[in-house]
Amino acid sequence: MAEGLLAAALPEAQIGSAGLEALVGNKADPIACELMAERGVSLESHRARQISLDMCQRADLILVMDREQRRTVEQRYLFAAGKVFRLCEFSDQDVPDPYRAGRPAFSQSLSLIEDGAQEWVKRISRVSSR
């Protein structure tokens, strides 16, 4: 969901999504697809993939959902420290994983994701317009 929102808001940026425990090759959850379609964003082409060394090396910014993910990425890829942040860093919140938790959980997580994405879009836009 975060990838879809960020890609829609920053079409000139290269946005990718990967997980630490992704079910590689799986499509986005149907509930996530429905919620995003309501916002005009399609997740139909999304396929889950694992985060990799190459992805982290090429990334200027790595956004994660919670503190534990941040710790894990920074421990796994020591060079990435300094470019790993939580999506909701500025509101000091973690985004709970809604997987298998139903539509209310997806809606709650998406609300946080939308807020966090908006903050990052503002900041990235300011930096890239210089």
- What's the pLDDT score for residue 130? 59
pLDDT one digit per residue (tens) for the chain, 130 residues: 999 999 999 999 999 999 998 889 999 999 999 999 999 999 999 999 999 999 999 999 999 999 999 999 999 999 999 999 999 999 999 999 999 899 999 999 999 999 999 999 999 988 876 5
Distances 111 to 24, 93, 101 between C-alpha atoms, Å: 25, 12, 15
**Domain 2-121, CATH homologous superfamily name and number:** Response regulator (3.40.50.2300)
- What's the pLDDT score for residue 22? 85
Buried b (16+ CB within 10 A) or exposed e, 117-126: beebbeebee
Is the whole-model pTM more than 0.85?
yes
Domain boundaries, the chain: 2-121
- What's the pLDDT score for residue 128? 76
- What's the pLDDT score for residue 120? 97
- What's the pLDDT score for residue 1? 97
For residues 130 and 53, what is the distance between their CA atoms, to the nearest angstrom? Answer: 29
Tokens of residue 118, six digits: 């908006």
Other Cβ atoms within 10 Å of 85 Cβ, number: 15
